[in-house]
Structure 1
Amino acid sequence: MMTTTRAFSAHLSQALRERVLSLSDTSRPEGPALLAAAAGTEIAKATGFGPLEKLCKPLIVPSALAVALRDGRLNPVDTALLSVTGAAYTTGDVILMLGDGHAGRSTSRLVSGAAAFGVGHLALGGMMLRSGLRFKPAQAAVHGVVAGAVGAVLLSEDRANAPLAAYAGLLATLSALATSVDRRSGPGASVLAVAGPVFLLSDSLILLRRRAEEGSALARALDVGVIDTYATAALLLLTGTAAAARTAGATA
């Protein structure tokens, strides 16, 4: 068991290093484009310069999707599921961005954004299941506790938060499935072990940001933190799931 864990950890470390290095590969535009989009959005959030955010943020997920697709051929169904995920995430980004972003207090707009992301999570989860990933009891239990706690907090604040509580459960379910990845899915898929929790962290920071005083240093730091974690999670989820699908296709 310890040997298996160490081997998986080694695969994960190597896969993460390779993914970071691929972003600076100027022979392919997708990686540098993702870095530029994320950096531009961070600057926009840190300075409050809205036009720059509107230019850069919608490019984060399409760039991550391009990186995932460039890594190798996928069958038509998996390509469609991955593309649906990318389109849904980008739609969610636009919905939230046009409603004052992370600072928005509108529950209805947040629910609309969550609905768009939910479609992406369902498509990506379906692709993971097609690739052979299955829930492991420990991961399911831990994420169940997290989803329950977040849902309880949201509902205690306002019953109108019920859709957000449901979204938290869906995201936790996706993260539980992603973190159930093992060596059978191939080295490239190992990044899913951190992708799900990072996405959970990103959305948790959004909820914290809504409570921060507008214009404060804390608010701007949380804004940047949301973008950092979101861009990282999107890249690792899309590329890791694509890698799992390729491994499943090669062994079928």
Structure 2
Amino acid sequence: MNASADRAIDIGYAATAVAATLAGALGHRRLAGITKPLPIALLAVRTAVGARRRSSVDNVVLAGALAFSAAGDRAMLLEEFADDPARKDRRLQTGASLFAGAQLCLTGLMLRRGARPRPAGLFLRTTILAESAAVMARHRPRLLPVLGAYGNTLALMSATADDDRLPQPRMRTGGWLFLASDLTILNRRHLITDPTLAGLAETWVLASYFAAQWLLITGLTDAD
């Protein structure tokens, strides 16, 4: 029964993720506002279906990861469509702070599964994210402390997801996709001026983000 429910939810997740990705890529504010919350809401339902298989601690931390992600999605949606630069900066800081909470929850769950980040993997991911830090230092330096701290939580999560004690390659792929999605956000904002390329970049940002969330959350829950 649970397997059948999971399959139905996964189909719904894929459909709503496609809808949210297209809405965001096309810059349709109203449609994006309706569709963007749906994939994470469906992941929350999928997680709840199997809650009895997990410990109370794991359920609480999973709920935290999903709640932080849902709130972060909302903040980033508001940032995307904000006209005032100061408001955009505040929304971006809020979104980064919320997603830092989500990354720490995901990392905590992986640690409870016995995973440990390797120093080399953590260094590689931190080095890659240094590119986006350089972009921020050039264009929005006052946001660097908050976004830099978020980048550290993202690198830690992605490096921990690389551990072979977790379901692979699902977790490893999810960790890399999350990092690639967030890396593209800042580059799209400040380095891409062509509207067509910007739309393609936003398509990648959203598609890779939703894929990463599904891979990470289901990787952690399906193994229970």
The TM-score, its normalising length taken from structure 1, stands at 0.76
1:173 and 2:156 aligned? yes
Instruction: Report the Cα offset of residue 27 of structure 1.
Output: 7.9
Distance 1:49 1:85, change over 3 A: same
Residue-pair matches, total = 217
Q: 2:141 aligns with which of 124, 134, 159?
A: 159
Q: 2:170 aligns with which of 191, 199, 203?
A: 191
Match of 2:189 in 1: 210
Q: Structure 1, residues 199-247: CA drift from partner, whole Å, max 9, x if none?
A: 0111112112212338x11121111111110000000111122345x2x
Does the 8 Å CA contact 1:128/1:241 hold for their aligned counterparts?
A: yes
Aligned partners of 1:58 and 1:148: how far apart in 2? 30
Structure 1 residues 37-186: aligned runs within 5 Å: 37-70=16-49, 73-101=53-81, 106-162=88-144, 163-179=146-162, 181-182=163-164, 184-185=165-166
Q: Structure 1, residues 133-169: CA drift from partner, whole Å, max 9, x if none?
A: 0122331231232244433442344431221112112
Aligned partners of 2:113 and 2:15: how far apart in 1? 31
Percent identity, please. Answer: 29
Does the 8 Å CA contact 1:26/1:32 hold for their aligned counterparts?
A: no
Aligned partners of 1:199 and 1:100: how far apart in 2? 18
The alignment yields a C-alpha RMSD, in angstroms, of: 2.6
Distance 1:29 1:128, change over 3 A: same
Instruction: Report the Cα offset of residue 176 of structure 1.
Output: 0.8
Partner SS for 2:116: coil
Identify which range, 63-72 or 84-93, moves more after superposition. 63-72
Partner SS for 2:54: coil
Distance 1:243 1:28, change over 3 A: closer
Unaligned runs of 5+ in 2: none
Does the 8 Å CA contact 2:117/2:159 hold for their aligned counterparts?
A: yes
Unaligned runs of 5+ in 1: 1-21, 247-252
The TM-score, its normalising length taken from structure 2, stands at 0.85
